[in-house]
């Protein structure tokens, strides 16, 4: 049974964060979870610190802290009035602070917005969200289109879990199965196989796909059986990120769950495919 006892909700007081407050609220209510609302006061920008304003910096910093502390107490106060909420003001660089708090508090879920900013975004670690996805150990819930979501999240009907048959696949499906069971939602296990095409001038046996797809389904069934999940298996072929996104849209998924590789480095925990899926998905994505 999936247990979410503590949700970390990093905020920047933006309209985007306010808009996903309804989703945080719904999750906290359902799981009776504590919400840790975290705001990070970052250091003064280098160009400001470099100015000959040294005598004024302590006074300026104190004023910023006081203003931030007041905003932390005020942000979504009415919406979260009946929830168990810890409001935290921290100092440092946002991504590092978020990850440190998630580890220290043994957070079960981090929920934060992100934005899709074009093709190059999938290849770089440039945003707070991307760094958290790379370094956090717990599942991270992100959504490119949170701005379009209603303030009140009323239902979740279909969860799609996309796996690559790697070691993280079982963990991702187990989380997806637990979450779908909580909401009595349909669960689909999705795998995208490479679309290998014949090379001109070379012999190509068109029947190779039959044993390949059969072996693939057997592996997916093993993953499903190891979790004990009651779910459909859906196999597609094509480019991984585009096909996962397109299939999630076609299946009208309300939530997409993917696995983050347990290996360190850019080619491990935050692969190009994973971040491309996150930034292009038509629905929220949980990276496990």
107-136 residue pLDDT tens = 999 998 765 444 444 444 457 888 898 899
Q: Which two tokens stand for residue 209?
A: 């796909």
Provide the pLDDT for residue 285.
94
Q: Would you kindly state where each structural domain of the chain is located, as residue ranges?
A: 1-152, 155-288
Q: Which two tokens stand for residue 226?
A: 């190891």
The CATH-assigned architecture of domain 1-152 is 3-Layer(aba) Sandwich (3.40)
Neighbours of 18 (CB within 10 A): 14
pTM of the model: 0.86
Report the C-alpha gap between 231 and 84 in whole angstroms: 34
Contact 185, 156 (CB under 8 A): yes
Q: For the chain, list residues with pLDDT below 70.
A: 44-60, 114-126, 144-154, 196-209, 261-272
On the 0-12 / 13-18 / 19+ scale of CB atoms within 10 A, 154 is: exposed
The CATH label, of 3.40.50.620, 1.20.1090.10, 2.60.40.10, 3.40.50.300, for the domain at 155-288 is 3.40.50.620
Provide the pLDDT for residue 49.
52
Report the C-alpha gap between 220 and 170 in whole angstroms: 10
Contact 254, 92 (CB under 8 A): no
Provide the pLDDT for residue 63.
85
């Amino acid at each position: 049974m999936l247990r979410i006892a503590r949700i970390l909700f990093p905020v920047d007081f933006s309209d985007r964060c306010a808009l996903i407050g309804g989703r945080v609220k719904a999750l906290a209510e359902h799981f009776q979870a504590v919400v840790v609302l975290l705001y990070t006061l970052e250091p003064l920008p280098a160009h400001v610190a470099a100015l000959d304003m040294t005598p004024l910096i302590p006074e300026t910093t104190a004023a910023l802290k006081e203003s931030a502390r007041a905003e932390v107490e005020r942000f979504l106060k009415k919406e979260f009035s009946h929830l168990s909420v810890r409001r935290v003001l921290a100092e440092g660089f946002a991504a590092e602070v978020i990850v440190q708090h998630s580890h220290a508090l043994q957070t079960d879920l981090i929920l934060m917005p992100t934005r899709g900013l074009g093709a190059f975004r999938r290849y770089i670690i440039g945003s707070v969200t991307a760094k958290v996805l790379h370094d956090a150990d717990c599942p991270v819930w992100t959504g490119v289109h949170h701005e379009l979501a209603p303030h009140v999240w009323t239902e979740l009907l279909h969860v799609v879990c996309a796996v690559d048959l790697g070691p993280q696949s079982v963990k991702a499906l187990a989380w997806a199965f637990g979450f779908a069971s909580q909401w009595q939602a349909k669960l689909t296990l999705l795998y995208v196989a490479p679309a290998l095409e014949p090379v001109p001038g070379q012999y190509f046996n068109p029947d190779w796909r039959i044993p390949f797809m059969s072996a693939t389904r057997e592996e997916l069934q093993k993953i499903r059986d190891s979790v004990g999940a009651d779910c459909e298996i859906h196999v597609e072929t094509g480019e991984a990120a585009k096909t996962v996104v397109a299939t999630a849209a076609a299946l009208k998924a309300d939530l997409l769950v993917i696995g983050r590789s347990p290996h360190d480095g850019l080619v491990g925990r935050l692969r190009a495919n994973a971040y491309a899926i996150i930034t292009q998905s038509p629905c929220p994505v949980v990276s496990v």
